[in-house]
Amino acid sequence: MNRGRFRKTAVYVVIVAMLVVLPAYVKNLYWLGVITTMLINVLIVSGFWLVMTTGQVNLGHAAFAAIGAYISAALVSAYGFSSWLSLPIALATAGLVALIIGVITLRITGIYFIITTVALAEVTRIVFGMWEHPFGGLVGILNLKPPASVALPGLPAVQFTSRAALYYLVLLCVLIGLFIVRRLDRSAIGLIFRGIQYSDNLAEHVGINIMAYKVLAFVVGSMCAALGGVLYTYTTGAILPTSFTMTQANYYIAWAAVGGLATFGGPLVGTVSLSILSEYLRPVKEYEPIIYAGLLIIAVLGFRSGLAGGLTRLWEFTMSSARKRGAEG
């Protein structure tokens, strides 16, 4: 038990270390940009998955990324706020919106909840598309400046004009977000989320206030999306009504399911591998949704534990055969 825990921690440390030194090896700015976007998507998908652990599929998840991105961008461009101040305001706004929408919609379950969240996604897109000031209407908000430089006492000021600096900013924010999701999932609260997923009726009868926990997962998950949205405006310098729509949420489902829905690591593995795949699919870009749909169907029908489950089994198999060989030799 403890050894397994140690091994897992070791895996995480290695991955984080690799991510920290990555810009030194990836000199191609295009690829660094791709990886930065991928990190943002990992965070958003992780939030999507957290809501899913309570048994609710939120197709309106991208709407919260849009809300985060738009609030932050509008505060910066129209009202001259600093990016550092707009970030917490955007997160708080998204959290508040999630709280209100969650309290209303989370009493609905299953397919009906999914339909409601489709409406949420569409309404959000249309509202931002129609709202000229300060959200820029159909044009969106363009030409945002990167966040202001940060001067820490005793250190040279950090400029966020380079891709590498933005990468580290995104990495830091994403790791904090993922850490929170991971901690929630591993705690007693995560177990309660699963309990609600497998039987909300029984969960309620053992004294769990299921609405409170569903709303909690929804708010935290949505704030992950909002943080992703804000980071998106930092890296791309723009936000359009079409940046975060329901199409995006379909990708979240595909990423999460192909990676494996059972564990925290699944959606991460899925997002990373499918993002890399999509880079190689550029020549046949218009067929990408079809390929994704195919993978999604395969994952749902025959490969429930996803890529992460496959990797875990492969790892266990290698370890056990290595142990056997060790025992024989």
Partner 1 sequence: MALLELQKVTKIFGGLTAVGGLDMYVDKGEIVGLIGPNGAGKTTVFNTISGSSRPTSGKVLFKGEDITGLKPHSVAKKGLMRTFQVTTVFSELTVLENIRLGSHLISRIGFWPAVFDTLKTRRRERELLDKAHELADFMGLGGRQYETAKNLSHGHQRALEMAIALVAEPELLLLDEPVAGMSVEETVDMMKKIRAARDRGVTILLVEHDMKLVMDVCTRICVLNFGTKLAEGNPKEICENKGVIAAYLGSGFQHTC
Binding residues for partner 1, rule: CB under 8 A, are 180, 183-184, 186-189, 191-192, 194-195, 198-199, 201-210
Give SS3 for 158: strand
Whose Cβ is closer to partner 1: residue 195's or residue 228's? 195
**Cβ-proximal residues to 93 (8 Å cutoff; 6+ apart), any chain:** 67, 68, 71, 226
| Cβ 40 vs Cβ 255: under 8 Å | no
Least spacing, CB of residue 309 vs partner 1, in Å: 14
H runs (alpha helix) in 1-55? 2-25, 29-52
- Residue 251: name the closest of 228, 235, 219, 220 by CA: 228
Q: Are 52 and 252 in contact (CB under 8 A)?
A: no
- Minimum CB–partner distance for residue 146 and partner 1 (Å): 32
Q: How far is the CB of 208 from partner 1 (least distance, A)?
A: 5
Q: Which is nearer to partner 1, 89 or 189 (CB)?
A: 189
Nearest approach, Cβ of residue 192 and partner 1 (Å): 7
Which is closer to partner 1, CB of 23 or CB of 309? Answer: 309
Who's near 89: CB < 8 A, 6+ residues apart?
71, 72, 75, 81
The torsion of the CA quartet 96, 97, 103, 109, rounded to 10 degrees, works out to -140
When the beta carbons of 120 and 210 are compared against partner 1, the nearer one is: 210
**Nearer CB in complex with partner 1: 164/208:** 208
Least distance from C-beta 87 to partner 1, angstroms?
22
Angstrom distances, CA of residue 165 to CA of 58, 82, 179, 274: 33, 18, 21, 25
* Residue 223 CA: distances (Å) to CA of 44, 133, 142, 238, 282: 9, 24, 23, 20, 31
Residues whose CB falls within 8 Å of the CB of residue 31, separated by 6 or more in sequence, listed in order: none
In the complex with partner 1, which residue's Cβ is closer, 165 or 189? 189
Nearest distance, CB of residue 193 and partner 1, angstroms? 11
Cβ nearer to partner 1, comparing 163 with 182: 182
Q: How far is it, in rounded angstroms, from Cα 40 to Cα 2? A: 32
- To partner 1, the closest distance from the beta carbon of 176 in angstroms equals 13
